[in-house]
Structure 1
Amino acid sequence: MKGNPNPKPEEEEKRLQEELLGPILVAERVIKLAEEAESSKTVCRELATKVQILCENLRAVVRAVSANPSLNERPIRRMAADVSKCLDKTLSLVRKCRKQPGVLRHVWSMRTTGDLRKVWSLLESSNGDMMWLLSIFESKGTNLSLPPIASNDPILAWVWTYTYTLQLGSAKDRAEAATGLGSLARDNDRNKFIIMEEGGVLPLIKLLKDSAYPDAQVAAANALVNIASNQLGVVRFLLPSLAVPAIVQVLSDSPFRVRVSVASLVSTMADQDPVAREEFARANVTRPLVSLLAMDTVLADPMAARTSSIHSLVVNLSEGNLNAAGGRGGQQNRRDREKEGESAELRNAVKTSCAEALWKLSKGCLLTCKKISETKGLLCLAKIVESESGDLRFNCLMAVMEIAAVAESNAELRRVAFKPNTTAAKAVLDQLLRVVCEESDSALLVPAIKSIGSLARNFPGKVPQVIGPLVAQLGNRDIDVASEAAIALAKFVCPENYNCVEHSKVILELDGIPKLMSLLQINDRQQVYGLKLLCYLALNVGDSKILEEERTLSTLEKLARPVLSQHPDLKELLAKAIHHLTLYQSGAQLHRQPLGL
């Protein structure tokens, strides 16, 4: 079932009242012709009675729609279309029951009697649909029966019922309806599209904005998370519906338990769609996210704070900066805590959700990364990596990784966000190196190593304090960690890095070659990363004795063919590296066979 992220503009569709007027007029025509019937008179009179009831029900639906103009129109339009088809068939048959020539009257009577019985069944179904709608309106969405139109697909009826409950029910009923929609969405992708196509999303967004009922807001946010999960089409449907500004507003001023769910919704949408990341960044979602993340974190050096001016300590958040000493955001957060009396667990849940949102928003999004770097966001992430544990720490580390990855391909962001002598950049690097040196969990090691590799072009001259921990990880028993170390080191010594020769010398000085050679002995699909690192080292410091002692030339020749069969793009690099080593290593054959597949 395909989604429709771009529904028709309202002006291109008939007004709902006009769409309902059509079958009412047809119904009146049917009643008049049924009274004039010359054949099947009894059936036609009964038919007229049935159509009269349907006509009255249609008028009652029109009155309900007029009284509640914001009602979900989708089910009404679908039912109205079915009613119109039914009445058109009825009208066609009733016309045949009018006065016919005597010789044909008996023939028409025999034919139309059977057809009228079929139409009778259709009218029963149409009346059932209208009565179901009216019962839903009267019960404010709490009627869980099935209309005939959905007898073969009860999910439709449930979605319609929940949607009308969101629009008509009490606060408690609306929260339960949102939970019901979320449960349906969690079951399968088809249900997600049905909810979207049948008008269930916009009432959830409206409920999310209703600050008078926090429990209903939580239920709405959780339902939207389930609907948007793994569905790009649903996320794209949400974007033009003013969902993003509403979400940002709720994130900024709702109770903490609501913010946990709303931050998760931001994460889900950002994870699905790069367009959503840009939209959230333009709506400045980073401001409340970073503010909440920093609520229990001291971002300034206490000694420096004593000598700083009041102006330097109190920075307006609206200008895109977090207060270094807590400031207005900290005061607001304290008021929030006093008002809600929230627990440490709830505060941790808020921060964990916000950190995950920043992680997902930063992925490949330059605008988000710039906004985070313009605040104290990077410093906050570093402080939390230093002091926290569990999912909160992991999410912050992943956010740093994504920001560093964007900075790797954007020199301006790299210079601004990770300028070596800034407090934030120093704090981030210190924590990344601390993780690489002290942690054993690959889930933490991999993003830390990736982050350092992304920043490789930021380091001038010899930096053994940075390269050393990466070299050590070349010997990690976890092949994924060791491979990431090789990838990161390759960024230090690749030709695009101005200091590649100096960095290469440091790797040799730190006994990196023996570890690298051991890594290359592992027959694994990731062997290629170590091989690329060795090629760069051969090109930069090919005259080194350690390369000859470790038999790097024979290793390259041995691995070249099997690696090239999977990575033919490395042919030129391998050829250059082998040729370069051949020039320097004593005893090497100067006339070797050309490297080929």
Structure 2
Amino acid sequence: MAADEEKSIQEELSLLILLADRIIKSAQEAESSKPDCSELAKQTAQLAHLLRSTVRLASSTQSLYEPPLRRIASDLFKHLDRALALARKCKHSGVLRQVFSITTTADFRKLYNLLESSIADIKWLLSIFDSESGTNLSLPPIASNDPILAWVWSYVAAVQMGQLRDRIDAASELASLARDGDRNKKIIVDEGGIGPLLRLLKEGASPEAQVAAATALYNIGTDQESVRIIASKLAVPIVLQILGDSPMRVQVTVVNLVARMAEMDGGVQEELGRENVVRPLVTILAMDVALDDPKGQSDSGAPPSIHSVIQIKKEMTRSSFGNSFSSSDGSSRGGNHRKEKEVESPEVKLRLKIGCSAALWKLARGSVLNSRKITETKALLCLAKLIEKERGELRDNCMMTVMELAAVAESNTDLRRSAFRPNSPAARAVLDQLLGLLKDESSGALLVPAIRSIGSLARTFPAKETRIIGPLVAQLGHRNADVATEAAIALWKFVSPENYNRVEHSKTILEFDGVPRLIKLLRSNDRSQKHELVLLCYLALNVGNSKALEQARALNIIEGAARSVVAQHPELRELFARAIHHLTLYQVGAHPHRQPYAP
């Protein structure tokens, strides 16, 4: 950090005033160019007066917006330093006076222009600091070539120092500027706009002010760097406070901000999880959703004990609006907006739920911490209910959340066993919805995440789970090639070496005529057939002696495709070689001295 940036703004201004006083004294003592020095002293005196006004303002203002003041002060220091050197030259007399007279006339003219610009800059600065005058959109000389910079300074100053109406309007203008381009966002961040917006959001002066601030932060946070800066200004505790106790229309903008922050940076995503932003999101998402188990059964399938019933009631009490969140002073704040929530329009409630579902989706993506926190709540049951009853964006987001949770569970054994164990009512509810989509849904937008979810959970299903294999096999014939390929990927996870029940699952695929469907898909799909061929290879390894594979001429198909696929995916070389060798042993008519495949 530079030395001048380490000084307080009052110290910087005081140094400028001292420098101005020296210039005035030197100009008054001049032996040459007296008219020019007189004008210099006059301009400098005007600057000194403005600087003293600025010092008084800085000393009496608790939250002074400093970036434009520091920029102007830095330029002014250079101008005054130049003026002092010139004034001192004018003290010379005799021969030296004649030497300097030619150059000083031109120098004075340049200096006058610089000082006039500085005077205009400081006047402009004082005007944007005047909370009574509103936002000043005129251009100071220092930003004459960059209007956006002047506007950002003016708007941020208004957000930080203005009256409430001006703060709201300025935050809305910053939101608009940020939406218009990446350069604008960078200027807002570089000029210290994040802190004032977060303070406006936290203070809760009015819902309109909070919405404007959150919208501006959302529009700014479109890349990793800006999101990290937002988080570094303690945004997460502010977000938690608002999700706990704010009108719904404010929460709508804040949950969108949470989703954006979680999406843009993995570190911030984890921070949101550590601070447990998941719980309020799930609580909001579960509004008006009946989450009680109709069978009254615990996860183990046994009747609940008295102790477990008491614990469930306590948990439901903690997670309800009105008791779930506390303010920093420990007082309950959750009830402040309860009545407002009850009478809020269905449209706002829907937007809030859509935002919460998107935030949970982004929080879950690739994060074991967040996925565990989500599944430790009633989220899975809530997501299942919403997938069943809702339509549109809310349903899509819930489906994407399930897909991300399942993807994390696929690579984390503990999460898979705790959240998606087969006898869990919540896991069964989710599975029922996934199977319902496989049987009744035609849209790829929902089928793809549903199929991916089932594939990720392939290792959780018992050997005789035919109600899953059948619908997946049927999707191999889907007219949408993406859906069919996803079905092939999911099925090979059921029959891969990592799946303990791979042989039984392979036999089930054959029972549902999976091989003919797979061969038809291979012949009709003109795209990369890697996943379909991997599935065929695994079937060959697990049930290579089956009539279905022999009738489908699986050996010829794998051999015909092997070289081209392995050329693009060398990691599959061994799999293809083993599948071909295995089929060669079982297929009738295969020559015992057949040349082995060597891709």
TM-score (norm 1): 0.93
1:456-495 equivalences in 2 (<5 Å): 456-495=458-497
Rounded Cα–Cα distance in structure 1 between residues aligned with 2:479 and 2:501? 29
Residue 43 (structure 1) aligns with:
36
Residue 197 (structure 2) aligns with:
204
**Cα–Cα, structure 1 residues 138 and 327, in superposed 2: closer, same or farther, change >3 Å?**
closer
Rounded Cα–Cα distance in structure 2 between residues aligned with 1:337 and 1:388? 25
**Cα–Cα, structure 1 residues 158 and 593, in superposed 2: closer, same or farther, change >3 Å?**
farther
Deviation at 1:12, TM superposition (A): 7.6
Residue 70 (structure 1) aligns with:
63
* Residue aligned with 2:314, SS: coil
**Cα–Cα, structure 1 residues 593 and 33, in superposed 2: closer, same or farther, change >3 Å?**
farther
Q: 1:238 aligns with which of 230, 243, 260?
A: 230
Residue 373 (structure 1) aligns with:
375
Residue 517 (structure 1) aligns with:
519
Per-residue displacement from partner, 1:449-490 (whole Å, max 9, x unpaired)? Answer: 111111011012121101111111111111111111111111
8 A contact 2:172–2:216 mirrored in 1: yes
1:131-210 equivalences in 2 (<5 Å): 131-140=123-132, 141-210=134-203
Residue 5 (structure 1) aligns with:
none
1:42-441 equivalences in 2 (<5 Å): 42-100=35-93, 102-140=94-132, 141-229=134-222, 231-302=223-294, 304=296, 311=310, 313-316=312-315, 322=319, 336-338=338-340, 341-441=343-443
Deviation at 1:348, TM superposition (A): 1.0
Deviation at 1:590, TM superposition (A): 4.2
Rounded Cα–Cα distance in structure 1 between residues aligned with 2:286 and 2:2? 42
Q: Does 1:584 align with 2:586?
A: yes
Q: Which runs of 5+ in 1 are unaligned?
A: 1-7
Residue 450 (structure 2) aligns with:
448
**Cα–Cα, structure 1 residues 265 and 317, in superposed 2: closer, same or farther, change >3 Å?**
farther
Rounded Cα–Cα distance in structure 1 between residues aligned with 2:33 and 2:5? 42
Residue 550 (structure 2) aligns with:
548
What is the letter of the counterpart of residue 310 of structure 2? H
Deviation at 1:169, TM superposition (A): 2.1
Residue 328 (structure 2) aligns with:
none
Rounded Cα–Cα distance in structure 1 between residues aligned with 2:511 and 2:295? 39
Rounded Cα–Cα distance in structure 1 between residues aligned with 2:59 and 2:266? 40
* Residue aligned with 1:177, SS: helix
Deviation at 1:524, TM superposition (A): 4.0
**Cα–Cα, structure 1 residues 592 and 10, in superposed 2: closer, same or farther, change >3 Å?**
farther
8 A contact 2:244–2:324 mirrored in 1: no
8 A contact 1:270–1:361 mirrored in 2: yes
Deviation at 1:70, TM superposition (A): 1.8
What is the letter of the counterpart of residue 39 of structure 2? E
Per-residue displacement from partner, 1:269-306 (whole Å, max 9, x unpaired)? Answer: 0010111111111111111100000011000135639x
Deviation at 1:216, TM superposition (A): 0.8
Provide the identity percentage.
57
* Residue aligned with 2:262, SS: helix
What is the letter of the counterpart of residue 81 of structure 1? S
**Cα–Cα, structure 1 residues 435 and 78, in superposed 2: closer, same or farther, change >3 Å?**
same
**Cα–Cα, structure 1 residues 332 and 67, in superposed 2: closer, same or farther, change >3 Å?**
closer
8 A contact 1:267–1:357 mirrored in 2: yes
Rounded Cα–Cα distance in structure 2 between residues aligned with 1:349 and 1:195? 28
Deviation at 1:72, TM superposition (A): 2.1
Q: Which runs of 5+ in 2 are unaligned?
A: 298-302, 326-332
Rounded Cα–Cα distance in structure 2 between residues aligned with 1:552 and 1:361? 43
8 A contact 1:501–1:540 mirrored in 2: yes
Q: 2:571 aligns with which of 564, 569, 572?
A: 569
Per-residue displacement from partner, 1:98-155 (whole Å, max 9, x unpaired)? Answer: 123x223122011111011111111111111111110111245511111111111111
Rounded Cα–Cα distance in structure 1 between residues aligned with 2:341 and 2:553? 69
Deviation at 1:180, TM superposition (A): 0.7
Per-residue displacement from partner, 1:538-578 (whole Å, max 9, x unpaired)? Answer: 11111111101001111111111221222121111111111
8 A contact 2:215–2:253 mirrored in 1: yes
Deviation at 1:170, TM superposition (A): 2.4
Rounded Cα–Cα distance in structure 2 between residues aligned with 1:86 and 1:327? 60
Residue 3 (structure 1) aligns with:
none
Rounded Cα–Cα distance in structure 1 between residues aligned with 2:522 and 2:57? 74
Q: Does 1:28 align with 2:18?
A: no
Rounded Cα–Cα distance in structure 1 between residues aligned with 2:338 and 2:353? 14
Rounded Cα–Cα distance in structure 2 between residues aligned with 1:477 and 1:139? 64
What is the letter of the counterpart of residue 156 of structure 1? L
The number of aligned residues is 583
8 A contact 1:483–1:526 mirrored in 2: no
8 A contact 2:245–2:334 mirrored in 1: no
Rounded Cα–Cα distance in structure 2 between residues aligned with 1:381 and 1:182? 32
8 A contact 2:89–2:100 mirrored in 1: yes
Rounded Cα–Cα distance in structure 1 between residues aligned with 2:322 and 2:464? 40
Rounded Cα–Cα distance in structure 1 between residues aligned with 2:529 and 2:339? 52
* Residue aligned with 1:47, SS: helix
**Cα–Cα, structure 1 residues 432 and 334, in superposed 2: closer, same or farther, change >3 Å?**
farther
What is the letter of the counterpart of residue 276 of structure 2? N
* Residue aligned with 2:289, SS: coil
* Residue aligned with 1:476, SS: coil
Per-residue displacement from partner, 1:313-332 (whole Å, max 9, x unpaired)? Answer: 5223687xx57xx9967997
Deviation at 1:531, TM superposition (A): 1.0
Q: CA RMSD in A?
A: 2.3
What is the letter of the counterpart of residue 514 of structure 1? P
8 A contact 2:245–2:335 mirrored in 1: no
Rounded Cα–Cα distance in structure 1 between residues aligned with 2:265 and 2:198? 19
* Residue aligned with 1:587, SS: coil
**Cα–Cα, structure 1 residues 559 and 303, in superposed 2: closer, same or farther, change >3 Å?**
closer
* Residue aligned with 1:297, SS: coil
Rounded Cα–Cα distance in structure 2 between residues aligned with 1:25 and 1:334? 54
Deviation at 1:391, TM superposition (A): 0.6
**Cα–Cα, structure 1 residues 453 and 99, in superposed 2: closer, same or farther, change >3 Å?**
same
What is the letter of the counterpart of residue 571 of structure 2? D
Deviation at 1:312, TM superposition (A): 5.2
Rounded Cα–Cα distance in structure 2 between residues aligned with 1:491 and 1:277? 29
8 A contact 1:313–1:327 mirrored in 2: no
TM-score (norm 2): 0.93
Deviation at 1:9, TM superposition (A): 12
Per-residue displacement from partner, 1:62-121 (whole Å, max 9, x unpaired)? Answer: 211111232221111111111111111111222211123x22312201111101111111
Residue 330 (structure 2) aligns with:
none
Per-residue displacement from partner, 1:19-45 (whole Å, max 9, x unpaired)? Answer: 222222111111111111122110111
8 A contact 1:287–1:317 mirrored in 2: no
Rounded Cα–Cα distance in structure 1 between residues aligned with 2:352 and 2:310? 29
Greater alpha carbon shift after TM alignment, 355-364 vs 560-569: 560-569
